[in-house]
Structure 1
Amino acid sequence: MTYKDELLEKLRRNTHEQYPMPNTPIDGISYDDTVKQFVDMSMSVGSKVVMAKPNEKLDDIVRNAYPQAKTIASNIAELTIATINPDTVAEAQDLNGTDVGVVYGQIGVAENGCVWIPQDMKEKAICFISEYLVIVLPKSGIVNNMHEAYDRICMPETGLGTFISGPSKTADIEQALVMGAQAARGVTVVIREE
């Protein structure tokens, strides 16, 4: 039995009275132009947004966005300029020094500009250790709000994923804004027709 199972079993044993969840429908915010709202919100939180042209190669998009990048990490098969694959490294530390990480996003949320990224790669550290992160998002995956996003999440086999909204930033120390404090210094969202 895992620690999680043990903990849940203890909670079940010590719960004396249970109440059903209320069935209250929640209508989240919606937008006339969900894609435009997502783009605007993504840019307001510090992301760059690229609307891919039909048949535009991902290699070209990444190279144009980050021409100086030497180490590009991705497990996306069509990205032939990737120099390291997060599925084949021995440990997460092997991704240290990655200039650009490129991952698939599943859902973009217009309400707050965040993107759901399922962990479909062996080492999720690529989302946080890269200096810059490129998220490839299907246009059809853009939804109005978090309620719609949670309804559409398809969990990968790992059972893990994360929402990312723009580059990492903090102003905790002396109220000075620091970019890339805990993760990528810059995020580019590539929106494509799929």
Structure 2
Amino acid sequence: MSSRNAILASLRAAQRTPATLPDVPMFDVGLPPALDRFKETFAQMGGIWAEMPADGDIEALIRTRFTDAKVICSAVPEVAGTQRIEEVRDPHELDDVDVGVVRPRFAVAETGSIWLSEMQYHVNALGYLSQHLVALLDPADIVGNLHHAYHRSEFFAVNYAVLMSGPSATADIEGVLIRGAQGIRSLTVIPATRVRASG
């Protein structure tokens, strides 16, 4: 028997008996209300929670918050913007976007994160070349913790996904925090109910 075969035979002989995976708890006993917790942790990460205006005019709210914005690229039907993401063919076309508008599929209260994939971005660069990102989030889509988040089927249906917690940030050795250092300068969440399929 060659050395190679001897090594492989030893490895095969050392196989453990298959065992079922242990049940992992969801650690959701005593979790605070998801919406309240999300607002708290999202703010800690530098995010901005902006209440829906009484008249429901999201576009006007965005224009009020970002008065100097010339290019508003929207990936949601609720906001027309000045540019539609469906019309973008090359990610480089997003290099002048002042405000990107997206709808996360869900959010995580524990970490103050929103979940986005290529399905929500349409062009992934929207989440990183935009100066500011606005997310329309249905409060009903907030899960309590990461254990619930990682059980969601969306993770298995996409090629790319990100849990985004606030704007880009970095801190140097003296502890000076800079926001927007490598990506978006601000992340704003507006609570907006998602239209759900019937049946």
In which range does the TM-score fall when normalised by the shorter chain? 0.7 to 0.9
Runs of 4+ in 1 over 6 A off after TM superposition: none
Q: Which amino acid aligns with 2:48?
A: K
Counterpart residue number, 2:181: 181
Asked whether the equivalents of residues 107 and 153 of structure 1 are also in contact (C-alpha less than 8 Å), the reply is: no
**Structure 1 residues 63 and 27: alpha-carbon distance in aligned structure 2, compared to 1, 3 A threshold:** same
Mapped to 2, the partners of 1:93 and 1:173 lie a distance apart of 33
Mapped to 1, the partners of 2:37 and 2:139 lie a distance apart of 12
Q: Displacement of 1:174 after TM fit? A: 5.1
TM-score, length-normalised on structure 1?
0.81
Moved more, 102-111 or 52-61: 52-61
Larger-Rg structure: 2
TM-score, length-normalised on structure 2?
0.79
SS in 2 for 1:102: strand
Mapped to 1, the partners of 2:123 and 2:156 lie a distance apart of 14
**Structure 1 residues 140 and 54: alpha-carbon distance in aligned structure 2, compared to 1, 3 A threshold:** farther
Mapped to 1, the partners of 2:169 and 2:19 lie a distance apart of 40
**Structure 1 residues 62 and 138: alpha-carbon distance in aligned structure 2, compared to 1, 3 A threshold:** same
Mapped to 2, the partners of 1:108 and 1:148 lie a distance apart of 10
Asked whether the equivalents of residues 69 and 100 of structure 1 are also in contact (C-alpha less than 8 Å), the reply is: yes
SS in 1 for 2:150: helix
Cα RMSD (Å): 2.3
Segments of structure 1 that go 5 or more residues without pairing to the other structure are 1-14
Mapped to 2, the partners of 1:143 and 1:65 lie a distance apart of 28
Q: Displacement of 1:57 after TM fit? A: 2.4
Q: Displacement of 1:156 after TM fit? A: 8.5
Counterpart residue number, 2:99: 100
Counterpart residue number, 1:65: 65
Mapped to 2, the partners of 1:173 and 1:70 lie a distance apart of 36
Mapped to 2, the partners of 1:63 and 1:20 lie a distance apart of 57
Mapped to 1, the partners of 2:99 and 2:122 lie a distance apart of 17
User: Among the aligned pairs, what percent are the same residue?
Assistant: 27
Matched, 1:36 2:36: yes
Asked whether the equivalents of residues 118 and 156 of structure 1 are also in contact (C-alpha less than 8 Å), the reply is: no
Counterpart residue number, 2:7: none
Asked whether the equivalents of residues 75 and 122 of structure 2 are also in contact (C-alpha less than 8 Å), the reply is: no
Q: How many residues align?
A: 179
Segments of structure 2 that go 5 or more residues without pairing to the other structure are 1-10, 195-199
SS in 1 for 2:83: coil
